[in-house]
Amino acid sequence: MWGIFVFRARTLSVSIARPVRVVYDYLAEPRNLPAWTMALGPSFREIAPNRWIAETPMMETGPITIGFSPRNRFGILDYEFAYADRAMTFPVRVVANGEGSEVIATLFAMPDASEERIVSEAEWVMTDLLTLKTLLEQ
């Protein structure tokens, strides 16, 4: 037995009929985040390079700080969320799917999260991914 702790995880994806570069460039721009995710409130501002803060109505814990991975050629778009006494990484990848793209996101559950909470958060993420698809395929 290794004794290594792992989080429960859900991996979600959506196919987008747009080239990888278009999808990646859109997602790599932090200013676009409020357009496709419900998690952010009206206040979303840059506080340092690749670091933003949001006053979000969905979090009772106060503001949330969001770190964005630097642009890269591998389609990696990891987001780091920090709030109150917790921090978590939200790994996102954009990969080619034919002439279009596949956006793949992995949601890690906090150790104390109930199964109902995990399902709810997965539905929330899937709604965001479908919003992203709608925006980019217009």
Domains of the chain in sequence order: 9-137 (3.30.530.20)
Residue 132 and residue 16 in contact, taking contact as beta carbons nearer than 8 Å: yes
Summarize the confidence of residues 68-82 as an average pLDDT. 92
Q: Mean pLDDT across the stretch 114-134?
A: 92
pLDDT digits (tens, 9 = 90+) for 2-20: 778 888 889 999 999 999 9
**Can you give the three-state secondary structure of the chain, one letter per residue?**
CCCCCCCCEEEEEEEECCCHHHHHHHHHCHHHHHHHCCCCCCEEEEEECCEEEEECCCCCCCCEEEEECCCCCCCECCEEEEECCEEEEECEEEEEECCEEEEEEEEECCCCCCHHHHHHHHHHHHHHHHHHHHHHHC
Query: Looking at residue 132, what is its pLDDT?
Result: 97
Answer yes or no: is pLDDT of 68 > 80.
Answer: yes
Work out the widest C-alpha separation in the chain, in whole angstroms: 51
Q: Which residues of 36-48 are buried (b: 16+ CB within 10 A; e: fewer)?
A: bbebbeeebeeee
- Distance of alpha carbon 65 from alpha carbon 82, whole angstroms: 5
pTM listed for this prediction:
0.86
- The reported pLDDT for the residue numbered 135 is 97
